[in-house]
């Protein structure tokens, strides 16, 4: 679809009631009653050191005639930003049991001429209904021996497609724009499949290594094999630290929402009617205007047909000495008009385990997490714990969020 047609579609969404009126928002404020329970489960054990420490668990739902298959990608972690090859596993009983993790052949390590290895990380799988396939999208990363290469060559999105139990080849999402000469990525990012099959995602990108990165939303075409950039939205800029990182997109009641990791003690949010032009970014704050204190960490959305939620980490008296305050995981409802969090709806999704004040090195970090709508009755937050100052070991965790009202988005 051309840019003009897409903008017209966005305008039609708004005319059809995409913007929440005061009556609708009053109902949304009561949506905290939507959450019946949040239950923590362990998918794979690693805290005891008996098995590997799994990381980056991200799931999607594959509908079929008998219900659904749950599909997850994951990989091990053995050091800072040092990940093993991408694996995958499935569940046919709503995540209670899983197949053994097995490698994703096209997303393994590739030897480089200089002896380094090119790997893949930050993979997010999503079911693409029009092509009946799973698109597993991450980005490349380079390793020198048993560590992350300090001098990273250019990096870009890397993907592979799973269909009928088979993986297709490793591919690069090409974007021949000089603004992404050093890096462009959608790693860890949530994306939206549009009604006509195109995919709305976002890039964080930079032309030079020491340049703060910008973010733009991107419409990509996908035919079940090849992902192609069709339209790029306006640039969102930020001049602190490395700029804006790990953007995540969501759609709620016909509008689009974008949350952004930053390196100035804040996270940022924007909204859009068409997915390409965004409101000026604003720091995440409570409904009384007090900003959240964050430390270069990602946030992700949970969308319910009746309410919009954000999952995040933040500074709190309970975690004051934990690295980047990356435990516990919190969630709160978002006011979609003011783009603020409703403080009285905040609750813990996955609790801090240990003492974040007096013994923080034994608190497992949970900053790299993912959110998934699994069924009309349930949404998930998945995360891999790790303890960088305590032998790495951690469990692979699942938080089941059960709803009192069906999520009609599914």
Q: What percent of the chain has pLDDT over 90?
A: 86
Q: What is the CATH number of the domain that holds 288?
A: 2.120.10.10
Inside any domain, residue 152: yes
**pLDDT reported for residue 13:** 34
pLDDT > 50? residue 9: no
For the residues 11-35, what does the mean pLDDT come to?
48
pLDDT higher than threshold 90 for residue 27: no
Q: CA-CA distance, 159 to 223, in Å (whole number)?
A: 13
The predicted model scores a pTM of 0.92
The backbone torsions φ and ψ at residue 319, rounded to the nearest 5 degrees and listed phi first, read: -130, 25
pLDDT digits over 297-333, tens only? 999 999 999 999 999 999 999 999 999 999 999 999 9
- For the chain, the domain total comes to 1
Domain ranges, residue 35: 3-403
Rounded CA separation 16/49 (Å): 54
Tell me what pLDDT residue 30 has: 55
Q: Is the dihedral of CA 148, 152, 153, 156 positive or negative?
A: positive
**R_g of the chain computed on alpha carbons:** 20
Q: Residue 344 region, left (φ>0) first, then alpha (ψ -120 to 50), else beta?
A: alpha
Q: What is the mean pLDDT of the chain?
A: 92
Residue 120 resides in a domain: yes
Q: Is residue 410 situated within a structural domain?
A: no
For 291, other C-beta atoms within 10 Å of its C-beta total: 15
CA atoms of 222 and 200, how far apart (whole Å): 11
| Nearest residue to 227 (alpha-carbon basis) of 189, 200, 196, 258 | 200
> Does 179 fall in a domain?
yes
**What per-residue confidence (pLDDT) applies to 31?**
54
Helices (H) and strands (E) in the chain, counts: 2, 30
Could you tell me which residues come within 8 angstroms of residue 332 by beta carbon, excluding any fewer than 6 positions away?
309, 310, 312, 341, 342, 343, 345, 346, 347
Residue 298's CB is within 10 A of a number of other CB atoms, namely 25
Position with higher pLDDT, 269 vs 11: 269
- Ordered DSSP codes for 271-292: EESSSSS-PPPEE-BBTTSPBP
Does residue 5 have a pLDDT over 50?
Answer: no
Long-range contacts, 84-89 (Cβ 8 Å, 24+): 84/52, 85/109, 85/119, 85/120, 86/120, 86/121, 86/123, 86/136, 86/138, 88/125, 88/136, 88/162
């Amino acid at each position: 679809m051309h840019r003009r047609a897409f903008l017209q579609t966005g305008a039609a969404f708004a005319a059809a009631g995409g913007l929440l009126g005061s009556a609708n928002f009053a109902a949304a404020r009561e949506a905290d009653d939507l959450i019946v329970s949040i239950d923590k489960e362990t998918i794979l054990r690693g805290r005891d050191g008996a098995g590997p420490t799994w990381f980056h668990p991200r799931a999607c739902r594959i509908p079929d005639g008998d219900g659904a298959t749950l599909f997850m990608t994951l990989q091990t972690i053995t050091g800072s930003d040092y990940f093993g090859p991408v694996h995958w596993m499935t569940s046919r009983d709503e995540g209670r049991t899983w197949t053994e993790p097995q490698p994703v052949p096209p997303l393994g390590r590739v030897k480089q001429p200089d002896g380094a290895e090119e790997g893949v990380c930050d993979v997010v799988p999503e079911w693409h209904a029009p092509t009946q396939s799973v698109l597993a999208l991450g980005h490349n990363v380079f390793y020198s021996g048993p560590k992350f290469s300090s001098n990273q060559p250019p990096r870009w999105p890397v993907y592979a497609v799973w269909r009928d139990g088979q993986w297709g080849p490793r591919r690069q999402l090409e974007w021949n724009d000089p603004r992404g000469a050093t890096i462009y990525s959608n790693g860890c990012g949530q994306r939206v499949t549009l009604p006509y099959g195109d995919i709305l995602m976002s890039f964080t990108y930079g032309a030079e290594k020491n340049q703060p990165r910008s973010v733009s939303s991107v419409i990509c075409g996908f035919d079940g094999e090849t992902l192609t950039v069709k339209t790029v939205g306006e640039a969102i800029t930020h001049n602190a630290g490395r700029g804006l990182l790990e953007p995540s997109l969501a759609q709620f009641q016909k509008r689009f929402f974008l949350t952004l990791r930053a390196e100035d003690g804040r996270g940022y949010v924007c909204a859009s009617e068409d997915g390409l032009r965004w409101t000026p970014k604003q720091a995440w704050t409570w409904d009384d205007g007090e900003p959240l204190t964050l430390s270069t960490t990602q946030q992700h959305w949970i969308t319910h047909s009746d309410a919009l939620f954000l999952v995040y980490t933040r500074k709190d008296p309970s975690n004051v000495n934990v690295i980047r305050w990356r435990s516990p995981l919190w969630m709160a409802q978002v006011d979609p008009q003011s783009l603020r969090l409703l403080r009285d709806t905040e609750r813990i999704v996955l609790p801090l385990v240990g003492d974040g004040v007096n013994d923080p090195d034994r608190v497992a970090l949970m900053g790299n997490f993912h959110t998934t709508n699994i069924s009309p009755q349930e949404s998930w937050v998945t995360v891999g714990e790790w303890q960088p100052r305590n032998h790495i070991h951690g469990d692979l965790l699942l938080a089941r969020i059960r709803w009192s009202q069906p999520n009609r988005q599914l």
